[in-house]
Amino acid sequence: MEIIYRTLTVDDAEAVRDIEVSVFPREAWSLEVLRVEIGGRWSHYLGAFRADELIGYGGVKGGVEGDLMTLAVRDEERGRGVGRHLVEGLLARAKDSGMEEVFLEVRVSNLPARSLYTGLGFRDLGLIRDYYRAPLEDAVRMGIKL
């Protein structure tokens, strides 16, 4: 079945929350935070849908410099290019909105995500000690010029 990518709206926040809780059980954003983020003036959120079911999402926000705020794909959909397509779509929207560079933080241990970002042109910018709290872990700061 075909995957459809579209801009998320505040009405999608509950579906985003369902994935958020399953992918980030200890660090999941609240429904209210998700609504604020998705509806934010400087935010661009993109969702991947299969048969009207949200299977992945991501968001970028900022002005000249942007931040890739979040990216998550349902466990059973990983390894099929959904994350790559979401990041490519977010980077295109970031560029179209005037962002010149996008940054992100990723867990040191999250090798699949780090590989995805490196494959899309992000470069390592340094280590941030104890960035994540649940569990405590360092982050790698990455960036890409658009």
Task: Indicate the domain borders of the chain.
Answer: 3-145
Confirm or reject CATH 3.40.630.30 for domain 3-145, answering yes or no. Answer: yes
Of the candidates 92, 106, 90, 103, the residue with the CA atom closest to the CA atom of residue 144: 103
pLDDT in tens, 8-22: 999 999 999 999 999
CA distance 13 to 137: 28
pLDDT in tens, 94-112: 999 999 999 999 999 999 9
Question: What pTM does this model have?
Answer: 0.94
- Describe the chain by its helix, strand, coil percentages, rounded to 5: 35, 40, 25
Asked whether the predicted pLDDT for residue 121 surpasses 90, the reply is yes
How many C-beta atoms surround the C-beta of residue 118 within 10 A? 13
